Amino acid sequence: MLTAIVGINWGDEGKGRMVDLLGSQYDIIVRYQGGNNAGHTVVNEKGKFILNLLPSGILRNDTVNVMGPGMVIDIAHLRREIDGLTEKGIKITADNLKISHAATICFPYHVRQDILEEERLADRKYGSTRRGIAPVYADKYMKKGIRMGDLLFPETLREKMEGIVEWKNLMIHGGYRDQAVDTDEMLEWLKINGEPLLPFVCDVTEYLEKAVSENKNILFEAQLGALRDIDFGIYPYTTSSTTLASFATTGAGIPGAKLDKVIGIMKAYSSCVGEGPFVAEFFGDEGNRLREAGGEYGAATGRPRRVGAFDIPASRYGIKVQGAEEIALTKLDVLSYMEKIPVCVAYEIDGERTDKFPTGDRLLRARPVIEHLDGWKCDISRCRRKEDLPPEAAAYIRYIEEKTECKIRYVSVGAERDAYIDMDNA
Ligand code: GDP
Ligand code: MG
């Protein structure tokens, strides 16, 4: 069974939480895109963890975790993440962590370039996480990347590094007039941070192909959501990789394999980190109240997230581009304080109503059409069966299911592993 768990919205839907829950059914969990700009929060019997690079299965005893060739890896950050988990008693060995030799290394100069560019843009900035993600993906496609596998060949590393640093300084030093990148310094950084990771570096394609042939269950864990996809998201306020399920097997290293299932994670309201169009946004008190109720602060950056009403046009679009067949609706409990629950049912663009999600400049002119549903005004965080839900909550779920035309299989009512309802289990 090959399953992808992906975000339907702008990210932070609770993917880490759902991967942690559903992960028990899988032998292997793979991260296939992005880098440490991700922030997946997992709360289980071992404690509370924030994972930026490692797949969420690292918290399970019998799960093998793979970081695929589609990822970009800041190795200093990864080392800190591994050390942090090890201190908390999580065992990480070459048996439960495999890093693709084809994953691209994110260097300190990528982070610097990211910051330099955001600062140059000032009030026109993209709202980058400033973790170097856009520069490292750009370099990858410029074929100026250093990959994890290069660490295995120190004798040729200096030459590669020199060539790249020379080119990089045209921009960092020549363009931005910032301090020049130094080859020796970068080689030293690679040595300090790369060597401890060497035991994990391997050909994950070989490993995963064998696993597929043995009918192992593999879960592909995405970062961010459909609306942040480089091609299908709200470009240029997107990330720099493909966040879609259709990329899962490719980014994981087994492009010939076929997914059996796509589970979309969708939040019961909207949140969005950083800049860009966000039609159903709440402002002032309405926004503050929801932000507090949902604890909507970035797991990777601590930034307050923008929040808003559940957005039907955006979610329908997200479901379509993800090809999701099943939805986990998360954080329904957060809406419990609301008397009436606003839902964005359509957009108005240039005086016309539409339920299609537009991309490009039309999106910038979209205004939300809001309808209100009845709130339930009681704590639902202890509901474990469909029957436990108050009728208004059940009606809210049904309404979203009908409008988005996708089956809601799971409803999450808390951050803890068992705080969910399987809608198929009576
Ligand atoms: P991800 O990036 O998609 O993995 O999501 P994040 O971890 O960035 O954000 C989701 C946040 O909501 C985390 O702090 C989770 O612990 C929390 N969370 C997940 N599901 C629920 C839920 O159903 N109810 C509540 N109250 N919190 C949840
Ligand atoms: Mg997140």
Ligand number, closest to the Cα atom of 41? 1
Q: What is the rounded CA–CA span in Å between residue 393 and residue 399?
A: 10
| Residue entry with tokens 């469909």 | 386
Whole-number pLDDT of residue 426: 66
Please give the Cα distance from 23 to 65 (Å, whole number).
11
H or E element: which one contains 311? strand 310-311
How many Cβ atoms sit within 10 Å of the Cβ of residue 45? 8
C-alpha 351/C-alpha 288 separation (Å) is 29
Question: Which numbered atom of ligand 1 lies nearest the CA of 16?
Answer: 4
- Cα–Cα distance between 10 and 310 in angstroms, integer? 12
DSSP 319-373: HHHHT-SEEEEE-GGGGGG-SEEEEEEEEEETTEEE-SPP-THHHHT-EEEEEEE
- From 9, 19, 20, 41, mutation site for ligand 1 pocket: most ligand atoms within 8 A of C-beta: 41
Burial of 2 (0-12, 13-18, 19+ CB in 10 A): buried
Tell me, what's the pLDDT at 300? Answer: 72
Three-state DSSP class for residue 20: helix
Evaluate: CB of 380 within 6 angstroms of ligand 1. no
Catalytic, 372? Answer no
| Atom of ligand 1 lying closest to residue 225 CA | 3
CB 310 within 8 Å of CB 344 = yes
Q: Does domain 267-422 have CATH number 3.90.170.10?
A: yes
Q: What CATH number has the domain spanning 2-101+201-263?
A: 3.40.440.10
Contact 294, 12 (CB under 8 A): no
Close Cβ partners of 1 (under 8 Å, ≥ 6 residues apart): 25, 26, 217, 218, 260, 261
Do 2-101+201-263 and 267-422 have matching folds? Answer: no
| Strand partners for 374 | 340
Q: 153 C-alpha to center of ligand 2: Å? A: 35
Ligand 1: which of 46, 330, 383, 408 to mutate, most ligand atoms within 8 Å of CB? 330
Q: Can you tell me the distance from the alpha carbon of 284 to that of 14, in angstroms, rounded to the nearest whole number?
A: 25
Atom of ligand 1 nearest to the CA of 41: 7
Average pLDDT over the chain, rounded to an integer: 96
209 vs 212: CA distance, rounded Å: 5
Between the CA of 169 and the centroid of ligand 2 the distance, in Å, is 33
Residue 418 catalytic? Answer: no
Could you tell me which residues are beta bridge partners of residue 267?
A: 330
Q: For the chain, report the end-to-end CA distance as a whole number of angstroms.
A: 25
Provide the token pair at 21.
Answer: 């829950």
Name the token pair of 175.
Answer: 């363009």
- What CATH number should be reported for the domain whose range is 104-197? 1.10.300.10
* Residue nearest (by alpha carbon) to ligand 1 atom 11: 14
Three-state DSSP class for 155? helix
Residue among 17, 20, 36, 305 to mutate when testing ligand 1 (max atoms within 8 A of CB): 17
Residue whose Cα lies nearest atom 6 of ligand 1: it is: 12
Assess whether the C-beta atom of 330 lies below 6 angstroms from ligand 1: yes
53, two tokens: 């690079």
Q: Which ligand is nearest to the CA of 20?
A: 1
pLDDT at 371: 98
Angle at 412 between CA 410 and CA 418, to 5 degrees: 95
Write down how long the chain is: 426
Q: Give the start-to-end residue ranges of the domains of the chain.
A: 2-101+201-263, 104-197, 267-422
Nearest CA to ligand 1 atom 20: 415
Dump pLDDT digits (tens) for 252-308. Answer: 999 999 999 999 999 999 999 988 999 999 999 999 999 999 999 987 778 899 999
Cα(263) to centroid of ligand 1, in Å? 16
User: Are the CB atoms for 99 and 252 separated by under 8 Å?
Assistant: no
CA of 297 to the centre of ligand 2 (A): 9
Buried b / exposed e over 300-325, threshold 16 CB at 10 Å, is bbeeebbbbbbbbbbbbbbbbbbebe
Tokens 């988005």, located at residue: 404
Q: Evaluate: CB of 345 within 6 angstroms of ligand 1.
A: no
In degrees and rounded to multiples of 5, residue 228 shows phi and psi of: -105, 5
Pocket test for ligand 1, best of 265, 331, 416 (most atoms within 8 A of CB): 331
Q: Is 82 left (phi over 0), alpha (psi -120 to 50) or beta?
A: alpha
Element (H, E) at 118: helix 108-121
Which parts of the chain register pLDDT below 50? none
Peptide bond before 236: cis, by omega within 30 degrees of 0?
Answer: yes
Provide the whole-model pTM. Answer: 0.95
Instruction: Write down the catalytic residue from 12, 20, 74, 311.
Output: 12
Give the ligand 1 atom nearest the CA of 11.
3
User: Residue 416 has what pLDDT?
Assistant: 95
Q: Pick the catalytic residue: 20, 40, 74, 311?
A: 40
